[in-house]
Amino acid sequence: MLNRLIGAVFRAAVVIFIIALPAFILPNTTLNARELSLIAGGVVAAFTIFEYAAKSPGFVDFRFAPPYNRMRVAIIATELLLIAFYFRDLTLGGPMVEFGAKFAFLAEMPGSPVRMTLEMFADTLTPGQLSRLGVVMSLAMVTAIGLSVVFAALLWLSRWPVDRAGFNLWVNMPNFEPSEVGKTERRLYRDGMLNIIFAPLVLYAAPYVLPLASNTLGSNLLREPQSVIWLATLWAFVPASLIIRGAAILKINRILRQAKQL
């Protein structure tokens, strides 16, 4: 119990650090913005402690099958760092401006979700703001999807979840409830494929969701660096997370299928 609690507190501290990081990296961030980021981090950290200190998880998949969740944390942390330092270097000067520009090709690629999003805001944002948004979205997309494919391949090709005898499907997938035990393998395959199929659909939802969010939450949503950082990060992280989850579920499905053949 004590070890679980210590581990939960450590993970909560990491969560607070990651969520608050952009507000402290960006120059000229107000004290209120930093306090709000710490409060948001505290809320998510409280959930993390509740989830990881409990004997049995209630929401988090593969809690007892590392490094699945560590991979997801690594993706969102990498996105936040890269985009936050890009905005910082836009103001103070630095190598991230040139580095980010290398990914802006997605803003020019026909049919890309980045270009489609920029076209939706062509009349509401200045050319400079459009250029900045294109770089940030491109950077987030390439980083998240690239890392997710690498991590998914590692999960699939490695011996994860290593100790087959000690892997409990029901504990590691608390929200998975097949209608019949005999259909578990079929449900896993279907769910795994659906996660991977939905990943690109989430990317292409941006041109339609962001304008609605901008109209609802205010026109400055895509003008303020901190809100742009989080919007771009979460937009790219969700499909990346779906790719990893789909690969993990398909791997579990393969293990069950092989176990039946023994």
Statement: residue 262 has pLDDT above 70: no
Digit-coded pLDDT (tens) for 189-229: 999 999 999 999 999 998 888 888 777 777 678 888 999 99
Task: Report the interhelical angle of 113-120 vs 206-217 (nearest 10°).
Answer: 40
Digit-coded pLDDT (tens) for 132-156: 999 999 999 999 999 999 999 999 8
Q: For the chain, how big is the Rg over CA atoms in Å?
A: 20
Domain range enclosing 18: 1-55
pTM of the model: 0.92
**142 within 8 A of 73, measured Cβ to Cβ:** no
Report d(CA 210, CA 2) in Å as an integer: 44
Digit-coded pLDDT (tens) for 49-102: 988 888 776 788 888 888 999 999 999 999 999 999 999 999 998 899 999 888
Angle at 254 between CA 250 and CA 259, to 5 degrees: 150
Are residues 185 and 70 located together in one domain of the fold? yes
Are residues 176 and 253 located together in one domain of the fold? yes
> Long-range contacts: 98-102, Cβ < 8 Å, 24+?
100/135, 100/136, 100/138, 100/139, 101/135
Q: SS3 string of 86-117?
A: HHHHHHHCCHHHHHHHCCHHHHCCCCCHHHHH
Which residue type, as a one-letter code, is found at position 106?
L
Average pLDDT in the chain? 88
Task: Name the 3-class secondary structure at 204.
Answer: coil
Are residues 91 and 210 located together in one domain of the fold? yes
Are residues 79 and 37 located together in one domain of the fold? no
What is the pLDDT confidence band of residue 180, given thresholds at 50, 70 and 90? low
Are residues 125 and 233 located together in one domain of the fold? yes
Are residues 48 and 139 located together in one domain of the fold? no
Are residues 75 and 33 located together in one domain of the fold? no
Which residue type, as a one-letter code, is found at position 29?
T
Are residues 50 and 143 located together in one domain of the fold? no
Structure-token match 């398909």, residue found: 250
Are residues 28 and 78 located together in one domain of the fold? no
Q: What is the DSSP letter of 46?
A: H
Are residues 166 and 210 located together in one domain of the fold? yes
Are residues 140 and 241 located together in one domain of the fold? yes
Sequential DSSP letters for 244-255 = HHHHHHHHHHHH
CA 69 to chain centre: 11
Report d(CA 258, CA 261) in Å as an integer: 5
What lies within 8 Å, CB to CB, of 135 at 6+ separation is 86, 100, 101, 103, 104, 107
Phi/psi-derived region of residue 230, left when phi > 0, alpha when psi is between -120 and 50, beta in every other case: alpha
Statement: residue 103 has pLDDT above 60: yes
Q: Cα–Cα distances in Å, from 245 out to 3, 51, 114, 130, 194?
A: 27, 18, 24, 32, 10
Are residues 165 and 233 located together in one domain of the fold? yes
Task: Name the 3-class secondary structure at 126.
Answer: coil
**137 within 8 A of 26, measured Cβ to Cβ:** no
Higher pLDDT: 123 or 177? It is 123
Q: Looking at the 3D structure of the chain, how many domains does it have?
A: 2
pLDDT score at 80 = 95
